[in-house]
Amino acid sequence: MELDENSYEYVNVEEALSRVGGNIGLYKKLLMRFVEGCYVETLENSLTSGDMEQSARQVHTLKGVSANLSLNGIMRISIDLEQAIKQGLDFSAHFAALKKAYCVTLEKISEITK
């Protein structure tokens, strides 16, 4: 698995592997579950519908899952997005950044899991 140096901004494989005892097979399985979870799509639906309570719960879950998998770009942005939602602030820039980080992260996950 060869990743460029910018990958660590989005996915820190070494850090994640330390959490799963070095088991790359398990890590790949967890990454695929993340992809299948459609977290960002579900969050977008709740934001669009205006359900801020549900949105706050969903972004909190996304923050935790991404932290556990060392998906650092998503995790960092999720922290800011969660605060903006909870404080009733304009979250649009944070959500746009999250969608961008999510797309890049999915590319990195594809590289890792192939």
**Domain residue extents for the chain:** 7-113
Query: CATH says 7-113 is which class?
Result: mainly alpha
In this prediction, residue 9 carries a pLDDT of: 79
**Whether the predicted model's global pTM rises above the 0.85 cut:** yes
In this prediction, residue 83 carries a pLDDT of: 96
| SS3 state of residue 23 | coil
> What would the pLDDT profile of 89-101 be if each residue is shown by its tens digit?
999 999 999 999 9
Contact residues for 83 (Cβ-Cβ < 8 A; gap 6+): 89
Q: How far apart are CA 78 and CA 40, in angstroms?
A: 10
Sign of CA pseudo-dihedral 29, 111, 42, 63: positive
Is residue 5's pLDDT more than 90?
no
What confidence tier does 2 reach under pLDDT thresholds 50, 70, 90? very low
In this prediction, residue 4 carries a pLDDT of: 41
In this prediction, residue 67 carries a pLDDT of: 96
> What would the pLDDT profile of 37-74 be if each residue is shown by its tens digit?
999 999 999 999 999 999 999 999 999 999 999 999 99
